[in-house]
Amino acid sequence: MFADNACYVGEFANDWIEGSGCYTWSDGAVYDGEWTRGRMEGKGEYRTVSGASLSGTFINNLYLDVIFICASDIDRKHPRSW
Beta strand pairing call for 39-47 and 53-59: antiparallel
**Rounded average pLDDT over 71-80:** 52
C-beta separation of 29 from 49 below 8 A: yes
**Rounded average pLDDT over 51-77:** 74
- Asked if pLDDT for residue 54 goes beyond 60, the answer is yes
**What's the confidence (pLDDT) of residue 52?**
87
- Vertex 27: Cα angle to 17 and 43 (nearest 5): 40
**3-class DSSP state for residue 51?**
coil
The reported pTM is: 0.76
What are the residues whose beta carbons fall under 8 Å from the beta carbon of 39, sequence distance 6 or more?
60, 61
> What's the CA gap between 3 and 60, in Å, rounded?
23
Better-scored residue on pLDDT, 8 or 4: 8
